[in-house]
Structures are given as structure tokens and as C-alpha cells.
Structure 1
Amino acid sequence: MSKISLNLATTRAQWGFAEAVEGCLRAGITAISPWRDQIAAIGLEEAARIVRDNGLQVTGVCRGGMFPAETAQGRQAGIDDNLRAIDEAAALNADCLVLVVGGLPGASKDLPGARAQVAEGIAAMLPHARASGVRIAIEPLHPMYAADRACVNTIDQALDICETLGETVGVAIDVYHVWWDPYLARAIARAGRMKRIFAHHICDWLVPTRDMLNDRGMMGDGVIDLKSIRAMIEEAGYHGPQEVEIFSTENWWKRPGDEVLSVIKERVASVC
């Protein structure tokens, strides 16, 4: 189970932070990745105590980002929120703070401009991240989210930003978002050479997918070649836990949490 981390979004509907940790411990899982609202609900001090007392690895904190804005004031508010996210990640001794960088601000059609705002926003938060010992992981999202959630859509785009900002900044590779990329193997190898793979998220792409946000599949139920991608990532030098992150309003969020974890353990062993 040392190769599994539970992203707490996977049991969001069933459990809060403390209940999710208890469920993980029952299942023999000792790595988690919480969301900031889940941390806020229990309080940062209590969340840190739970992590510390149970010897948990926190593979990431979700999420920072959302940098593009229509005004300078809006962009500064985003940076300020990211500085708070760094403090939360540091308190939990997280492996990284995961960024969903944001899309087009307002009615803008300027995609290159939005990407420039992302790079500027990350640069502004880096001094505090470095002083706090927190690594920053850009998570490229599928192009369907380019307008509203993330204007960085491939590993290569994320690595281009990393190259300009230094080694504190890397990537979180989520198979749901990058499995389709014809240059995936090359991009993962590039990330490995740069030593910038900070996290590896897994789930599956269902056919059909009923909702592009909240109908992710359990590993093995869809079309992603999980073993091949895992092999690429390990060949590139990353051997940390595979972080299971499943948003599923009509399936997995309706099942008991312990059942979900049982299935995760079986699928990681058999199809990942």
C-alpha cells in the first residue's frame, strides 16, 4: 500500500478529513492528498496534528493556482491566496502544492496572455514557497478546461514554465488530463531529465463520459493505458505513490468509503 495515496476528493461525499484518514488507516494506506476546503473544515492545526500523529505522507495539497484575472487587484488577490496555500502545505509537510492554474479571465480570448499571467503569478509566489520549503506542482489539465480552469494543457507547456522559474517548480501528472497527448512519452522523459515530476495522479477515462468534471472512472473501467504511463513515469525517475483522484457524483461518491478503498487497492494491484 506504500504505492497508493488517496486524494481526499475520491471520498469527498462520504468523509471529511479525519474520517478519510481513519478509513485509509483501516485499509493500510498511509499517504493522502487533501483539498484546502477539507483542511479548513477541520482546521489547519488539527489537520497537521492528525498527519503528524499518524505518520502520514501528504503527497500534495489541492489546490493553488487560478492566477489570471481581469484586473491587477484580482491578480494580486490570487497571489495572496496562493501564499496562504503555501503556508497550509508547509504545515502539513506536503510533498508539493498542486496548481490548477486558471483559464481565460472574464470575456478574454487572449490565451497566450492568460498563460503569461500564470507564469507571472507563480513567479510572485516562489520566494515564499522557497522560504517555506514547499515545491510547486503545475497540473496540466485536459484542453476541454482551457477556457475556465487551466490554460496550461500539456506537460510540455508546464515544463516550459518550469524552465523559466527554476527547480522549485515541477509538474503533477494526472493521467485523466494527459493520456491523449501524442507526445506524452517524450514529455514525461523530458520531465524526468529535468527532475520535475512531483506527483502522479490516477483514475480512468470512461466511454461514454457523462460529465467531463464529475464522471471519472475507477482504474480499469476506462480506456487509459495506466501500466504504460506508470512505466514511463518510473523510467523517468519518479517512484512515489500513485495518487488516486476520482470525482464521481453518480457512482463512487454514492458508495461506502471503505468499499471505495477496497476497490482502489484491488485495481492498483491488478491494472496499474
Structure 2
Amino acid sequence: MKRFALNSATTKRWPLPELVAGCVDAGVAGVGLWREDLAAYGVKEAAALVRDAGLTVTSLCRGGFFNTPGWLAENRRAIDEAAAIGAPVLVLVSGGLPEGSRDLDAARAHVGEAIGALVPYALDAGVRLAVEPLHPMFCSDRCVVASLGQALDLADPYPAAAVGVVIDTYHLWWDDQVWAQIARDGRGNRIACFQVADWVTPLPAGVLLGRGLPGTGSVELRRFREAVDAAGYDGPVEVEVFAEEVWSRPGRAVLDETITRYLAHVAENPTT
């Protein structure tokens, strides 16, 4: 449980004060937050709530979407918010193709340029940028970064303290190159965030909501955890699930099941 962290996306409809209280009661030390949480509750108020409860913010989602107007100012705001709540990592989802474009190479090149523009600001704020690759099915509209190798290529020109990558099992489990790329992550000290969710089929109509709690789908979750450990990562393990069936349940019930499944399917010492 020392490494377990609940990403607030998993309990999307659980108000932040209740989420914080539930985590404290369950012995959870870390929470990953979303900017929507901060917008609803207030950045300063959320920072005080989490700090006073003795919790650690493990990451803030999200920055990126570099294909949209005003991306530079918006990402600077996201960095400021991460610093204000004490999140060491800002997750970046790159965004898809610009409207009317089919030039995937140019879109990825722009992501690299955008990250470079943010690096000095992030370093000054003490926030590490973390490039998250998404499953290729999201390439056109949400994220032109579709593999861990591509994410590492974008991070490599910058200091590891400034830019790392996110390993999200839901998005990367399909890739037969992922194990070699995780080892490459370790050599460069690039793993900034590790997120866990299962792949559940059949996918729902809203494909983005096709995640499952650990152990409900197809992913070798413990193999991923062992791989990131072997690469030298010893940070938080966030469970981040997008699923209407999960969101419709009481937050504390979801948290309790999430902990049980994390211990059984992800953690070093399973309790099955």
C-alpha cells in the first residue's frame, strides 16, 4: 500500500472532500488529481484540503492538446496549478491532428517543439512534464503520440528532470516493443508516472470508457509493475479507470474494491 495511489478519475463523481476523507480512512497516502477537480473546488482550497489531510498529490492531469488555440498559455496555467497543489508531475496528452490536416509527422514534430517551449517554465516551477502515449485508436483526435518509443523520442532532447513519460497499462499493453522501451525508460530515468487500468472487452460505445479495475480484463498488470520496478522506478502506482459502471457506484465502495484488486493483481505481495 505504500505505493498505491487513487487517481480521482476512477471515482469521478466522488466530491473531492469525500475522496480525501475516504483515502485517509482507507490508509491511502497518494492521490492523482485532474484539473477539473481543481476548477470545481478551487486550486488553493484543494491544495489546503489535501495538505491538511496528510496526503501526497502524485500527479495532475492534464496539460497538452497542443493542436488547440492558446495551448501555450493554457499549459502554463496547468504548470502553475500543479506547482500550487504540490504535484511533481503534469501529465501531457498531446492532442490529435490539427483541424483539416492529415500530416501526422508534422503534428508530432509540433508536439516536440511545444514541449521545448514549456521546459524552462516547468523547470522554474519545479514541475516535471510527463508525455503520455495513448492507444493508436486515439491518434486522430486525442493524441498523436501512440507508443512509448515515440514518447521517449519526444522527451530525450530535454533533461530527465524536466521531461519524462507516463506508462499507462491501458494504452500500452498491446505493444510488443513496450518491454524494451520500459528498459530504455530506466536507462534514461524517464519514468515520471505509472498508471494502471485493465482493458475490458467488448468495448463500450464510448471507447474512452473501456477501462476496467485491475484484474477485470486482458492486461498482465503485475508484469508491467515488475518491468517498471526493474527499470528503477519506485514511485506511486496510480489506478486510473474510466468506466461508467465504476463511476455509477459509491466512491468508497469503488476505492475498497480498487485496493483489493490492486493488491491481488499489481502489488509485489498478492493477497489472493
TM-score (norm 1): 0.95
- Matched with 2:80 is 87
Alignment of 1:1-272 (within 5 A): 1-13=1-13, 15-69=14-68, 74=69, 77-167=70-160, 168-210=162-204, 211-249=206-244, 251-272=245-266
SS at match of 1:63: strand
The CA RMSD over aligned residues, in Å, is 1.0
Separation in 2 of the partners of 1:184 and 1:242?
Answer: 18
The answer for unaligned runs of 5 or more in structure 2 is 267-272
Separation in 2 of the partners of 1:125 and 1:95?
Answer: 15
In the TM superposition, residue 109 of structure 1 has moved relative to its aligned partner by 0.2
SS at match of 1:137: strand
Separation in 1 of the partners of 2:181 and 2:207?
Answer: 24
In the TM superposition, residue 37 of structure 1 has moved relative to its aligned partner by 1.2
Counterpart contact for 2:35–2:60, Cα < 8 Å: yes
The answer for unaligned runs of 5 or more in structure 1 is none
Separation in 2 of the partners of 1:96 and 1:33?
Answer: 10
In the TM superposition, residue 95 of structure 1 has moved relative to its aligned partner by 2.1
Separation in 2 of the partners of 1:119 and 1:203?
Answer: 27
The number of equivalent residue pairs is 264
Counterpart contact for 2:128–2:163, Cα < 8 Å: yes
In the TM superposition, residue 116 of structure 1 has moved relative to its aligned partner by 1.1
In the TM superposition, residue 240 of structure 1 has moved relative to its aligned partner by 1.4
Counterpart contact for 1:17–1:39, Cα < 8 Å: no
Greater CA drift, 51-60 or 92-101:
51-60
Separation in 2 of the partners of 1:121 and 1:206?
Answer: 33
Deviations 1:27-52 (A, max 9, x none): 11120011101111111110111122
- Matched with 2:270 is none
Separation in 2 of the partners of 1:26 and 1:261?
Answer: 11
TM-score (norm 2): 0.95
In the TM superposition, residue 25 of structure 1 has moved relative to its aligned partner by 1.2
Q: List 4+ stretches of structure 1 deviating above 6 A.
A: none
The code of the aligned residue for 1:137 comes to A
Separation in 2 of the partners of 1:180 and 1:55?
Answer: 37
Separation in 2 of the partners of 1:27 and 1:55?
Answer: 13
Counterpart contact for 1:39–1:47, Cα < 8 Å: yes
